[in-house]
Amino acid sequence: MKQVIYMFTLLLLSATAIAQPRGERGERIKNIKVGFITDKIHLTPEQASRFWPVYNQYEQELRATRKSFFQQYRGQNKDNQDEDKARKYVEDNLEYQEAELRLKKKYKAELLQVISARQLSDLYVAERDFRKILVKELKDRRGNEGGGPKGKGKGRHR
């Protein structure tokens, strides 16, 4: 029951966060994520005081890696790429994924000095679950902007 209430609260708060300006929204989503992860991996107050600085640094480096890759290809139409551009994209994408993996390995060692292996495993699951909830909420929100049924409004169509 506690989890159902928590998930409902998370969805409600994320809907509110999505409606806010970009800077406020990012901060609000980050706060929701902190609560979600803290709950899911059962951080003690002592662990939390040591965990969050390491995790925040990890996320900052991960964001920088992602930003570097995605800015390189922003606005490019991949449907009309010639063979050379497609090959370069594939190579760059693999390098990006390898860079992400190096970061995960680096921070795995640091995080295991603060939390247990079980908590680290739960962290990976919690991150995935949080992303799924957030993506679903964004899709639902965008779908409702167009006034039609969910998923039929404005936004990206894939």
CB atoms within 10 A of CB 83: 7
Q: What is the mean pLDDT of residues 61-87?
A: 87
- If you average pLDDT over residues 135-144, what whole number do you get? 87
6 φ/ψ sector (left φ>0, alpha ψ -120 to 50, else beta)? alpha
What confidence tens digit (pLDDT) does each residue in 3-15 have?
544 554 554 444 4
- The pLDDT, as a whole number, for residue 81 is 81
Give the C-alpha distances (Å, rounded to integers) separating 101 from 55, 109, 122: 15, 13, 18
**Domains in the chain: boundaries:** 2-145
| 88-113: pLDDT as tens digits | 999 999 999 999 999 999 999 999 99
What pLDDT score was predicted for residue 114?
97
With a threshold of 0.75, does the pTM exceed it? no
Q: Please give the structure tokens belonging to residue 97.
A: 């994924």
